[in-house]
Amino acid sequence: MAEQCADGAVGEAVAALALVDHHVHQALGGALSRDGFEDQITESDRRAPAGTTPFDSQVGFAVRRWCAPR
């Protein structure tokens, strides 16, 4: 994939890296309320500003798009 994203020395350096995504969230074994789900789609330890929800974020936009009827 790095070859598609960058050319030259930078692309070669990135392509040579052994990248590991160590960032994971826990797996949940039960149903979630909407508030519980919203807590899971954010990295923040703060509540969303008044008048917004975590769905008003880049990840929220992606979730809404993915879940939208097709």
Provide the residue count of the chain: 70
SS3 string, 9-66, reads: HHHHHHHHCCCCCCCCCCCCCCCCCHHHHHHHCCCCCCCCCCCCCCCCCHHHHHHHHH
pLDDT (0 to 100) of residue 49: 92
> Model confidence over 16-56: pLDDT tens digits?
888 777 777 778 889 989 988 898 888 888 889 999 999 99
pTM: 0.55
Phi, psi (degrees; rounded to nearest 5) at 5: -100, -30
- Those residues whose C-beta lies under 8 Å from the C-beta of residue 12, and which sit 6 or more positions away, are none
Question: DSSP label at 70?
Answer: -
